[in-house]
């Protein structure tokens, strides 16, 4: 039983009620009382507050039975908006979503520089544009979360971004000064795992998300919470050494896993083989479909090295679900079954291994979901990308 002062208990009850409204999409006061265990008076007071704040709306539901039609409560999608940003090596992706987690606009900026000041200016301008665009809503642009393909500590300081060569950057405060908007900084792999939990695997308590894009990152969800480690640096699995004295890595080591099993490493090798510096996923898919010998041989090696790391991860964490976030694997026939053929250890156990349905949207959608969670101050949240359905 939760005990404490009245204000604290009220906050806990509010969080619980909002979470259950999200989870059910639409729900009556009577059903809220049943599933939360709160009395009807508490539900009525909390609902009245949330209605006054425009965070929820009432809808009278049609039904065929005799008697009064039930009044349903749901999240007011237009009360405010959040912005998720994926800051990668060659691009910045922006996703604007309403506070039900449904994306309303997506934009991408291509990068040809790693200059911190230039990239800071680009992001600040876009945030200010979105802020103006959302000014009609009561809560406007309620929060911004940025996914970083690098090391972010528990104070949201960027410790190191290998692909850009950044060290000790305070992007959070720099953008707050420029825009006046609440900014949160998070590792992109953590956001990917959060998005898988929030949008796809609501009931999974132990979920891992492996991201294979410009590097390799691991997002770790244990008992529904992100595992970050002592400083916040947990999950930098791409710098696990798989080939002693192997290919030099920007981290300073030799033979890091991401030099053999990231999409960037695959594309570099493929480009060299085919003398083509502008390979796109559609081009690679055509090579797969045409059974191009060099490409198939390279993919065989990619799967082999990928499986070595996955085997290590499974032994370390014994996950319920391991989601691999990779556009390359999404277009490769039988990717999961080929990986599984390499996972032959009798001591490795997992329940489910799959390729992410969210794909390269996972980071920005996880960022949007985290911004909603922070804005509404809820402990858990379940969202859906289906219009008109929240859970």
- CA 300, 305, 308: angle at the middle one, nearest 5? 125
Buried b or exposed e, range 175-193, using 16+ CB within 10 angstroms = beebbebbbebbbbbbbbb
Does one domain contain both 223 and 141?
Answer: no
User: Which residues neighbour 93 within 8 Å (Cβ) at sequence distance 6 or greater?
Assistant: 85, 86, 106, 107, 108, 360, 363, 364
Q: Is residue 383 part of a domain?
A: no
Does one domain contain both 49 and 87?
Answer: no
Tokens of 200: 């796809």
- Predicted confidence at residue 301, as pLDDT, reads 96
Count CB-CB contacts under 10 A for residue 293.
9
Does one domain contain both 352 and 243?
Answer: yes
User: Per DSSP, which regions of the chain are E strands?
Assistant: 27-28, 56-60, 71-75, 81-87, 91-98, 103-110, 141-148, 151-152, 158-161, 166-169, 183-187, 206-211, 217-222, 225-226, 321-325, 352-355
- Predicted confidence at residue 279, as pLDDT, reads 80
- Predicted confidence at residue 3, as pLDDT, reads 53
C-alpha separations of 69 from 66, 83, 370 in Å: 8, 37, 35
- Among 46, 75, 104, the domain-final residue is 75
- CA 331, 259, 263: angle at the middle one, nearest 5? 20
Enter the DSSP assignment of 4: S
φ, ψ at 268 (rounded to 5°): -60, -45
**Whose structure tokens read 């599933």?**
35
Domain range for 13: 6-75
Does one domain contain both 256 and 348?
Answer: yes
The CA distance from 370 to 297, in Å, is 40
Q: Is residue 256 part of a domain?
A: yes
The CA distance from 371 to 366, in Å, is 9
Does one domain contain both 313 and 295?
Answer: yes
Residues in the chain: 391
The CA distance from 142 to 146, in Å, is 14
- Predicted confidence at residue 65, as pLDDT, reads 61
Q: Is residue 390 part of a domain?
A: no
User: Which CATH number is 215's domain given?
Assistant: 3.30.420.40
**Strand 183-187 versus strand 141-148 pairing type:** parallel
- Predicted confidence at residue 125, as pLDDT, reads 97
- Predicted confidence at residue 390, as pLDDT, reads 37
CA 111 to chain centre: 21
Q: Is residue 241 part of a domain?
A: yes
- Among 29, 53, 75, the domain-final residue is 75
User: Which CATH number is 60's domain given?
Assistant: 1.10.10.10
Does one domain contain both 56 and 156?
Answer: no
- Predicted confidence at residue 104, as pLDDT, reads 95
Does one domain contain both 240 and 101?
Answer: no
- Predicted confidence at residue 391, as pLDDT, reads 35
Q: What is the mean pLDDT of each run of 10 residues along the chain (391 residues)?
A: 72 93 91 93 94 92 65 93 95 96 95 96 97 96 96 94 92 95 95 95 92 92 91 91 94 94 93 82 92 93 96 93 95 94 86 93 96 93 69 35
The CA distance from 36 to 50, in Å, is 17
Does one domain contain both 139 and 235?
Answer: no
- Predicted confidence at residue 67, as pLDDT, reads 59
Determine if residue 267 is left, alpha or beta; phi over 0 gives left, psi from -120 to 50 gives alpha, anything else beta. Answer: alpha
The CA distance from 371 to 386, in Å, is 19
Count of structural domains, the chain? 3
**Strand 151-152 versus strand 158-161 pairing type:** antiparallel
- Among 75, 108, 134, the domain-final residue is 75
C-alpha separations of 371 from 141, 145, 176, 232, 377 in Å: 10, 6, 15, 19, 10
Does one domain contain both 160 and 94?
Answer: yes
Does one domain contain both 119 and 91?
Answer: yes
Q: Is residue 157 part of a domain?
A: yes
pTM exceeds 0.95, yes or no = no
Nearest to 175 by CA among 132, 127, 108: 127
Determine if residue 226 is left, alpha or beta; phi over 0 gives left, psi from -120 to 50 gives alpha, anything else beta. Answer: beta
- Predicted confidence at residue 389, as pLDDT, reads 41
Q: Is residue 197 part of a domain?
A: no
Does one domain contain both 319 and 304?
Answer: yes
Q: Is residue 381 part of a domain?
A: no
- CA 329, 166, 251: angle at the middle one, nearest 5? 60
Does one domain contain both 30 and 140?
Answer: no
Q: Is residue 316 part of a domain?
A: yes
- CA 235, 239, 244: angle at the middle one, nearest 5? 145
């Amino acid at each position: 039983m939760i005990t404490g002062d009245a204000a604290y208990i009220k906050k806990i009850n509010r969080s619980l009620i909002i979470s259950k409204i999200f989870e059910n999409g639409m729900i009556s006061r009577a059903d809220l009382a049943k599933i939360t265990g709160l009395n009807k008076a508490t539900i009525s007071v909390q609902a009245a507050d949330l209605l006054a704040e425009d965070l929820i709306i009432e809808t009278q539901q049609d039904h065929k039975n005799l008697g009064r039609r039930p009044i349903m409560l749901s999240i007011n999608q237009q009360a405010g908006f959040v912005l998720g940003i994926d800051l990668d090596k060659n691009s910045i992706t922006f996703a604007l979503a309403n506070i039900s987690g449904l994306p309303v606009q997506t934009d991408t900026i291509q990068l040809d520089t790693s200059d911190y000041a230039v990239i800071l200016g680009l992001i600040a301008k876009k945030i200010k544009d979105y802020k103006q665009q959302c000014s009609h809503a009561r809560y406007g642009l309620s929060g911004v979360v940025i996914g970083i393909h690098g090391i972010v500590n528990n104070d949201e300081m960027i410790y190191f971004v290998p692909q850009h060569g950044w060290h000790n950057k305070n992007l959070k405060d720099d953008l707050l000064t420029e825009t006046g908007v609440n900014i949160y900084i998070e590792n992109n792999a953590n956001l990917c795992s959060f998005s898988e939990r929030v949008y796809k695997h609501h009931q999974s308590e132990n979920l891992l998300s492996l991201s294979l894009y410009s590097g390799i990152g691991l997002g770790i969800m244990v008992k529904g919470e992100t595992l970050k480690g002592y400083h916040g640096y947990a999950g930098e699995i791409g710098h696990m050494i798989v080939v002693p004295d192997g290919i030099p890595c920007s981290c300073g080591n030799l033979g890091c896993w991401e030099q053999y099993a990231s999409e960037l490493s695959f594309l570099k090798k493929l480009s060299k083989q085919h003398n083509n510096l502008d390979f796109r996923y559609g081009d690679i898919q055509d090579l797969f479909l045409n059974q191009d010998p060099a490409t198939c041989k390279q993919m065989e090696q990619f799967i082999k090295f990928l499986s070595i790391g996955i085997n290590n991860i499974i032994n370390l964490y014994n996950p319920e679900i391991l989601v691999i976030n990779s556009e390359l694997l999404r277009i490769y026939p039988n990717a999961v079954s080929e990986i599984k053929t390499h996972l032959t250890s009798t001591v490795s156990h997992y329940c489910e291994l799959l390729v992410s349905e969210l794909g390269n949207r996972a980071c920005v959608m996880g960022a949007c979901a985290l911004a909603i969670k922070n804005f509404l101050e809820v402990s858990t949240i379940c969202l859906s990308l289906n219009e008109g359905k929240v859970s």
